[in-house]
Amino acid sequence: MESLSSFCTCSDKLIILDEKRDQYYLPDAELEAILRNAMSEGLVPQDVRPALNDVGLLQLIDGVPRLRMPVEICVPGASLLESDAAIAPPANIFEVGALVLKSNMFLRALPFAARLKHLRARKARLKQSSPSPALSALALSFLKARRRIPIEPVCLADSLAMLDFLWRRGHVPQFIIGVRLNPFTAHCWVQTDELLLNEAVDFATAFTPIQAI
């Protein structure tokens, strides 16, 4: 009953992220009704548990089958991209370049579900931290070094590289995956509380979070 999916409500539509299949999709009418009822009632009737289990949205909490509810994160209110970047010197360009290459290789080597499982396992071993001037300065130094590296920016690889950089220094921000419709687009970024570390507020808030690690 390990949950391998998550979902969110985006523009009044339900969107499911199937981690195992690396796929986003809209549920059919029957599954949508089951999800909406489970969200409103807070309980999962026995007759619909197989349907939720089949799509990876059923999990055990204290031995009771429950719906895996949509993620909740702080609404972004500020971004390092919109701050005074002059306060932080660039990080070591060789370290940042190595981390970007490592994250690109990591993405090619592992399927999507395995990548997220690896992130969860690694983060679970770290002590949670709160936003601090030290974290902001480190993230800014990463961004300044990243701009000097001649590798095409990709949100997923760059977010993973920033996570790696910050985790090595004892900071544990969140990795967020968001979606939007018309047209469908998925995006990811790094965030700590309401502070965005590698995305602008206006752009990130155009997406609805569907997964957070």
Number of other residues whose CB lies within 10 A of the CB of residue 182: 8
In this predicted structure, what is the pLDDT of residue 131?
A: 56
In this predicted structure, what is the pLDDT of residue 1?
A: 47
In whole angstroms, give the CA distance from residue 46 to residue 67: 12
- The domain spans of the chain are 5-67, 78-212
Instruction: Render 110-137 in DSSP notation, one character per residue.
Output: S-HHHHHHHHHHHHHTSPP----HHHHH
**Amino acid identity of 146?**
R
Instruction: Render 158-186 in DSSP notation, one character per residue.
Output: HHHHHHHHHHTTT---EEEEEEETTTTEE
For strands 58-61 and 64-67, give the pairing: antiparallel
Structure tokens given for 176: 């967020």
In this predicted structure, what is the pLDDT of residue 171?
A: 92
Q: In which residue ranges of the chain is pLDDT below 50?
A: 1
Structure tokens given for 188: 């990811």
Place of tokens 């999916």: 5
In this predicted structure, what is the pLDDT of residue 129?
A: 58
Q: What is the pTM of this model?
A: 0.91
In this predicted structure, what is the pLDDT of residue 3?
A: 52
In this predicted structure, what is the pLDDT of residue 82?
A: 85
